[in-house]
Amino acid sequence: MSLRYAQTIPAFALLLLALIGILLLVLPTRELEKPPEYEYGIVLDAGSSHTSMYIYKWPADKQNGTGIVTQHDECDVKGPGISSYAGVPGGAAKSLEECLQKAVQSVPKARHSKTPLYLGATAGMRLLEKSDASESQRVLKEVGAKLKSYPFSFKGSAVLSGQEEGAYGWVTVNYLLENFAKYGFVGRWLNPGKGAIGALDLGGASTQITFQTDVKAESTDTSMSLTLYGQNYQLYTHSFLCYGQDQFLRRLLAHLIKTQGLSSGSVSHPCYPRNFTTSMILGKDVFSSSCTEEYKTKDIDLQKSVTLVGTGHPQNCLAAVQKLFSFDKCDFSKCSFDGIYQPAASGKFMAFSAFYFSSSYVNALTNISDPRRMKEASQRVCSMSITQMTAITKQPEKYMKNVCAIANFIQVLLTQGYGFNNSTLPMISFEKKAGGASVGWSLGYMLSLTSHLPKESVSVLKAIPSGPWSGLLIIFAALLLMALVQLVVVCRKARAKMELV
């Protein structure tokens, strides 16, 4: 081997080593390091009983058209839901100010103008829209004007359909549990997915059931298609208006008043603890909702108050709750209740929102957490006094008085309504959070909306690693420079020798 080639080999070896080192450092970093800049999004969840604000963020680089969204911050708006401000000009908008100011502080100032802001109203506003469309529009316009006054990119305030609320709740559950397949920045798998689970949501004015199905839908009103991470998901979803926790309790009261009458001035309530009494104003506490309209008779004085006397009777409570469902009419091959089509529910489910809180109260009172023993748990709760309940849970009477009714409602809804049985009930988990974040429709809403937001480019400089890795990158860059210099020197010496010859 000639001296010229012998001198060139170390230089090439050094050059190859430097190139390999730089590639090993830079390429994995593009996948493992978070881009330094995030995009942000704000969703106001305007529910029937309250409003919550959630701030989300995701890397500027999106994965397969859908941003990798995480919860950045949250805020609970003080006071009732925005639908409660019907007839109260300025009330709904003012209630949002404190949380919106928190958003101004939480989102980096440089990102304010690029941060989309949405308000989604659910069943409470759907009910108001149904009973007074003009007042519903006034409230939405009012809160829209308030949101526009903040330095974010306001995208609109809207009333979500029941289908949207159910589907986005399903997205949230499966996203937080990492059930969707996700890809890394250089095309590698971050998570191959685990298979989607169903979602059961119980709010104040409505309840939703959503699950993936291959069964051809017999009703378009219960079918929805979503595309996430390049995959299409066909869902069964339905929202039952007036079957939320608060509206169900109103309907139960209205049913008892209608069947017993008001001649004595008092009404027996089989779901209230024995000897527990309370008074309510008919027009304000019972018949102010369109959900109770069918129970209102012409002779009822809405200004009058009624005394409710608890009898704590498990069987009578269950019978009264069952009367609020209709299991007779069905024009399809299979129905849940009230004539609504539903294929058989199968696989795992997560039950959240009021499902979780109600089940946690029942579990605390009875130490029964097995869903297959829901009927037994309901009977135990209905036999307890209000004093026993408050002593065990340390919760006020206003919450405990309704535990028996809600326990029976959930039992009937899941077993007789949705068709869960002793084999499938254990597949339901009652949860408040998933993956450390709040469960509800807003994250799924934000996740879907990120597919439609502009994608910011990521510069080459963002691929350069930081911290201790940057030191190694500098060393390999120096080796590369040394190799190039050595090659130049060797080539010059070789050329000089050739000229001498």
d(CA 458, CA 187): 16
| Residues 6 or more apart in contact with residue 153 via CB below 8 angstroms | 113, 114, 115, 116, 117
Give domain status of residue 16, yes or no. Answer: yes
pLDDT tens sequence for the chain (501 residues) = 454 555 555 655 655 665 666 555 555 444 444 444 788 999 999 999 999 999 998 887 665 556 678 889 999 999 999 999 999 999 999 999 999 999 999 999 999 999 999 999 999 999 999 999 999 999 999 999 999 999 999 999 999 999 999 999 999 999 888 888 654 433 434 555 567 999 999 999 999 999 999 999 898 889 998 887 778 889 999 999 999 999 999 999 999 999 999 888 899 999 999 999 999 999 999 999 999 999 998 888 999 999 999 999 999 999 999 999 999 999 999 999 999 999 999 899 999 999 999 999 999 999 999 999 999 999 999 999 999 999 999 999 989 999 999 999 999 999 999 999 999 999 999 999 887 778 999 988 887 777 655 544 433 333 344 445 455 556 656 665 666 666 666 666 666 666 555
User: Do 8 and 77 fall within a single domain?
Assistant: no
Q: Does residue 125 share a domain with residue 62?
A: yes
Measure Cα distances from 177 to 168, 431, 439 in Å.
Answer: 14, 12, 11
Q: How far apart are CA 123 and CA 10, in angstroms?
A: 74
Query: Is 241 contained in some domain?
Result: no
**CATH label of the domain that carries residue 121:** 3.30.420.40
79 with 10, same domain: the answer is: no
Give the closest residue to 197 by CA, choosing from 182, 211, 216.
211
Q: Is residue 14 domain-shared with residue 59, that is, in the same domain?
A: no
The crossing angle, in degrees rounded to 10, of helices 403-412 and 245-260 is 100
Q: Which single residue is written with the structure tokens 């995701």?
A: 58
Q: Both 143 and 63 in a single domain?
A: yes
**Rounded to an integer, what distance in angstroms lies between the CA atom of residue 426 and that of residue 128?**
37
Q: Are residues 53 and 136 part of one domain? A: yes
CB neighbours (10 Å) of residue 464? 15
Is the residue at 460 inside a domain? Answer: no
Mark whether 119 and 102 lie in a shared domain.
yes
CA 121 to chain centre: 13
Q: Write down the H helix ranges in 261-402.
A: 314-322, 354-366, 374-382, 386-393, 397-400
Measure Cα distances from 451 to 2, 189, 226, 444 in Å: 62, 20, 11, 12
Question: Do both 24 and 43 map to the same domain?
Answer: no
Residue 28 lies in a domain: yes
Q: Hey, how many other C-beta atoms are within 10 angstroms of the C-beta on 493?
A: 13
- The answer to whether residue 446 sits within a structural domain is yes
Predicted TM-score (pTM) of the model is 0.80
Tell whether 46 and 144 lie within a shared domain. Answer: yes
Instruction: Supply the pLDDT for residue 497.
Output: 64
142 and 60, same structural domain? yes
Domain hosting 125: range is: 38-160+435-452
* Active site residues per annotation: 165
In a domain, 141, yes or no: yes
- Is-contact 248 256, C-beta < 8 A? no
How many domains, the chain? 2
